[in-house]
Each structure stands twice: as C-alpha cells, then as structure tokens.
Amino acid sequence: MTLRLFMLLALACCAGQVASEEPVIPTEKETIEFQTRLGVVTFRHQMHAGLSATECTTCHHTFKAEEGPVQACHTCHEHKKPSADAAPKAKTAFHTRCIGCHEYTTEQGDPAGPLKKKCKLCHVK
C-alpha cells in the first residue's frame, strides 16, 4: 500500500516535470493556416516539430519554459514593422526561418519543403 502510494507520487512528480520542460503542441495547432494576400500557406506544425534535430526553440527562438507558454511569432513579428521595434516584420521572419531551413536541408541532400522561388508551393490560391 505504502509502496504503491509512493510509486504513484513518483509518477505524478515526473510527469509534471516533463510537461513543464517539454511543451506539447495543442491539437488545434497541429496544422496552421496563414491567410496572406497571395493565398493560404498551410504549415504542418506537428510534422515539422517531429523532424530530426528540430526542437521547439528551432523556431520559437525566444521560448524559455520558466517564462511561461510558447508565444505566437506574430506577438512580436507584426505585419507592419513599428519603427521602434527590434523584431523584423512577419514576412521577413517567416521567410527567413521557413525558407532558410528548406535551403539548408536541400544543401544537405535531404528532402525539404518549398524553396525561395517556389512561392506558389507555399502560397496556394
């Protein structure tokens, strides 16, 4: 009885720790659609998070578990860059991160997503 209780407590403790150190992607965010003037960009978020050598912070570069939940990129990267803000505007931030990794991965000889000139493979009307 006592041993069982101890094991339960131990499990509860460690499950809680894992949850706070390794955040998970909410179900409704497994796929994210960006509405843009050039069409809809469909981003398979869960698939990307499962790529080898990819962590949440590969994209969520400001995330620190002790500082609260993962923030949307648009919180800081706005569509129009306010002159006093240090964060580049959304289009620059997304193109740099998304296309940058696709280029890098292609250079490594591995399958990747759309490259810079393939606008319409991301922006689908």
Instruction: List contacts with ligand HEC (CB under 6 A).
Output: 23-26, 29, 32, 34, 36-38, 41, 43-45, 48-49, 51, 54, 56, 58-62, 70-77, 79, 86-88, 90-99, 101-102, 105, 111-114, 116-119, 122-123
Least distance to ligand HEC from the beta carbon of 9, Å?
Answer: 27
- Give the closest residue to 94 by CA, choosing from 109, 124, 121, 72: 72
Residue 37 or 125 having the CB closest to ligand HEC: 37
97, 91 in Cβ contact below 8 A? no
Q: Give the other-Cβ count within 10 Å of 76's Cβ.
A: 14
Contact (CB, 8 A) for 65 and 21: yes
Toward ligand HEC, which CB reaches closer, 7 or 121? 121
